[in-house]
Amino acid sequence: MLDFAAIKKAARACEADMTKFLRDLVRIPGESCGEKETAARIVGEMKKVGFDEAGIDRMGNVIGYMGKGKTLIAFDGHIDTVGIGNRDNWKFDPYEGFETEKEIGGRGTSDQLGGPVAAVYGAKIMKDLGLLNDRYRVMVTGTVQEEDCDGLCWEYIIKEEKIRPEFVVITEPTNGNIYRGQRGRMEIRVEVKGVSCHGSAPERGDNAIYKMGEILAEVKALNGKLGNDPFLGRGTLAVSQIYFSSPSRCAVADMCAISIDRRLTWGETYRSALGEIAALPAVRKYRAKVTMYRYDRPSYTGVVYPIDCYFPTWVIPEDAKPVRAMVKAYEGMFGRPRVDKWTFSTNGVSIMGRNGIPCIGFGPGKEEQAHAPNEKTWKADLVRCAAVYAALPGIYTSGELEKAPAEISKSRRAVKPAGTGSPKKGAKTAKAAAPAKKTAVKKPAKKPAKKSGA
């Protein structure tokens, strides 16, 4: 049996080191495709605390290992952050941050630099307390480009590095809860054509913006008619961007396009979501083009790994082994946890959504701090997460969970619905629907692809 009291004591003893580590990371601006210095700092900490292996793959992801056992259990945390937005909305320097007795402030503290910090020290505790054994090996990642294109990093790790853990702990903020799923998402572009003419005689042309106005009204109404799921909630959509082309401000627009952020609940897929937009009367009337964006922005190492901007919904059953192991680890030290789901998106869209590797979520910080000014996290969260991370692998591989009922319920959420995998050749995407290219190292593009966002 694990000595939970010893694990809690060891985690509390790491609080000052974790705080310093997190504050160091905050001071390094590291937006998507600019994570080089952040990655180097994390590798340095891994080596300092005694990781058996610590390095950076060709895409720029940090990968560290502790232990030599058979079952590979991964702890994932992305190391890129969003920008700071309007600096006037911050009450303190977002890259200097602040520290009080209980809190740590700064960009990325909750979303989600605190997660990798707690995972690194969770692995340290395993080693320091002699918890590592021949049954498991721990992998801790610091993944890149998640804010741009969630899951891309793990597509590379799984398909190019050929690494496939038994399950993955996602260390995104969970408000102190354990999360077992999330809605998916996708990025849709709708484009309509017109004919330009001089603005003094608009009747001579065909105004694309007016056409889009009709489409926008129907898109807005569609938001209230989307699918619903008792656990994940409703599917949603929001128009996030609008573009146009026109010869001048004195001319009628000859093109107008919008971007749609589409959140997908259980049973909704990229095919169904594209079909709903394509079927709108105004879209059909004006023969608008409905497509899916494709991401191909180079990582900070120069690797380009193209992928369609489709991020599948995923859920694992509440009685799945990783869930039961996480609950048992938490209960051993902190009482009964709440098991719930994320509102936003995570790297689980690739790990579980595309590749079927179970994910379980538990991370320091709060969802509502993500992307917000005056972002902060809590020292107690770092301690709690490091302790639970340290206990989890031993519980999962001990055999004690096998004493539970052998017949695990066959939840519909254990199986991906049709169309949740990668779009096949022939799918409507913003670029020609060719299969994703193999890894290529290129110089940064002169005009980077538009950013995605979780």
Q: Which helix (H) or strand (E) holds 191?
A: strand 184-193
Pairing between β-strand 136-143 and β-strand 62-66 as defined by DSSP bridges: antiparallel
Q: Which residues contact 230 (CB under 8 A, 6 or more apart)?
A: none
Annotated catalytic residue 155: no
108 close to 81: Cβ distance less than 8 angstroms: yes
86 close to 371: Cβ distance less than 8 angstroms: no
CA gap 41, 45 in Å, rounded: 6
CA gap 186, 72 in Å, rounded: 30
Q: Which helix (H) or strand (E) holds 400?
A: none
Structure tokens, 202: 């608009």
The helix, strand and coil proportions of the chain, stated in percent and rounded to the nearest 5, come to 35, 25, 45
Q: Please tell me which residue in 111, 146, 254, 367 is annotated as part of the active site.
A: 146
Q: Please tell me which residue in 76, 80, 187, 268 is annotated as part of the active site.
A: 80
Side-chain-facing half-sphere of 267: CA atoms under 13 Å: 11
Q: Which residues contact 203 (CB under 8 A, 6 or more apart)?
A: none
Q: In 10 A of CB 96, how many CB atoms?
A: 11
The DSSP result for 371-382, as a single string, is: T-TT-EEEHHHH
Angle (CA) 387-393-399 rounded to 5° is 130
Angle (CA) 36-109-103 rounded to 5° is 145
CA gap 316, 182 in Å, rounded: 10
Annotated catalytic residue 148: no
First to last CA, the chain: 39
Q: In 10 A of CB 89, how many CB atoms?
A: 11
> Mind telling me the catalytic residues?
80, 146
